[in-house]
Amino acid sequence: METGPRIIPRPEHNVSRAHISNNALKVMYRLRDAGYQAFLVGGGVRDLLLGREPKDFDIATDAHPEEVRQLFRNCRLIGRRFRLAHVFFGRDIVEVATFRAAGDEVGADDEESLLLLDDDGRILRDNRYGGIGDDVWRRDFTANALYYNIADFSIWDYAGGVEDIRAGVLRLIGEPEGRYREDPVRLLRAVRFAAKLGFRIEPATEAPLRPLAPTLESVPPARLFDEVLKLFLGGHAVASYELLRRYGHFAQLFPVVDALLDSEAGEPYRALLLAALRNTDQRVAEDEPVTPVFLFCVLLWGPVRRRAVALEAAGESPLQALLLAADELMDGQQRQVAVPRRITTPVKEMMALQVRLQRTRGRRVLGMLGHPRFRAAYDFLCLRAAAGDADPGLAQFWTELQALDEAGQKAAVETGGRRAQPAAAGEGEAGQEDGGAKPARARRRRRPRRRKPGGASG
Q: List all residues 6 or more positions away from 312 whose beta carbon is below 8 Å from its beta carbon.
A: 318, 321
Average pLDDT score over residue span 366-384: 95
Helices (H), 217-268: 221-232, 237-247, 249-253, 255-261
User: At 83, which amino acid appears?
Assistant: R
Q: Range of 349's domain?
A: 251-402
The domain boundary, picked from 173, 207, 234, lies at 173
If asked whether residues 138 and 39 sit together in one domain, one would say: yes
pLDDT in the model for residue 118? 53
Whether 219 maps to a domain, the answer reads no
pTM value is 0.82
Question: Known catalytic residue: 56?
Answer: yes
Q: What is the pLDDT of residues 314-328, one digit of tens each?
A: 999 999 999 999 999
Q: What is the pLDDT of residues 218-265, one digit of tens each?
A: 999 999 999 999 999 999 999 999 999 999 999 999 999 999 999 999
Whether 418 maps to a domain, the answer reads no
CATH number of the domain where residue 320 is located: 1.10.3090.10
CATH number of the domain where residue 63 is located: 3.30.460.10
Choose the catalytic residue: 58, 62, 157, 281. 58
Q: What is the pLDDT of residues 289-304, one digit of tens each?
A: 999 999 999 999 999 9
Question: Known catalytic residue: 140?
Answer: yes
Share of the chain above pLDDT 90, in %: 79
Q: Is residue 164 predicted with pLDDT exceeding 70?
A: yes
If asked whether residues 383 and 275 sit together in one domain, one would say: yes
pLDDT in the model for residue 418? 55
The domain boundary, picked from 376, 402, 428, lies at 402
Q: Output phi, psi for 363, to 5 deg.
A: -65, -30
Number of residues that make up the chain: 458
If asked whether residues 141 and 290 sit together in one domain, one would say: no
Cα–Cα dist 34/110, whole Å: 29
> Predicted confidence band at 80 (pLDDT cuts at 50, 70, 90)?
confident
> Predicted confidence band at 396 (pLDDT cuts at 50, 70, 90)?
very high
Strand, helix or coil for residue 128 = coil
Whether 377 maps to a domain, the answer reads yes
If asked whether residues 22 and 166 sit together in one domain, one would say: yes
Domain count within the chain: 2
Choose the catalytic residue: 140, 164, 183, 281. 140
Q: Compare 418 and 85 and report the one with higher pLDDT.
A: 85
If asked whether residues 380 and 268 sit together in one domain, one would say: yes
Cα–Cα dist 250/243, whole Å: 9
If asked whether residues 15 and 127 sit together in one domain, one would say: yes
If asked whether residues 292 and 148 sit together in one domain, one would say: no
If asked whether residues 155 and 257 sit together in one domain, one would say: no
Half-sphere exposure of 394 (CA within 13 A, CB side): 24
Q: Is residue 123 predicted with pLDDT exceeding 70?
A: no
Whether 425 maps to a domain, the answer reads no
If asked whether residues 70 and 160 sit together in one domain, one would say: yes
Average pLDDT score over residue span 5-22: 96
The domain boundary, picked from 366, 383, 402, lies at 402
The answer to whether 156 and 9 are in contact (CB under 8 A) is no
Q: Is residue 426 predicted with pLDDT exceeding 50?
A: no
Average pLDDT score over residue span 7-23: 96
What average pLDDT does the chain have? 87
Whether 185 maps to a domain, the answer reads no
If asked whether residues 381 and 269 sit together in one domain, one would say: yes
Whether 411 maps to a domain, the answer reads no
Whether 200 maps to a domain, the answer reads no
Whether 180 maps to a domain, the answer reads no
pLDDT in the model for residue 127? 63
Q: Output phi, psi for 212, to 5 deg.
A: -95, 5
Q: What is the pLDDT of residues 141-155, one digit of tens each?
A: 999 999 999 999 999
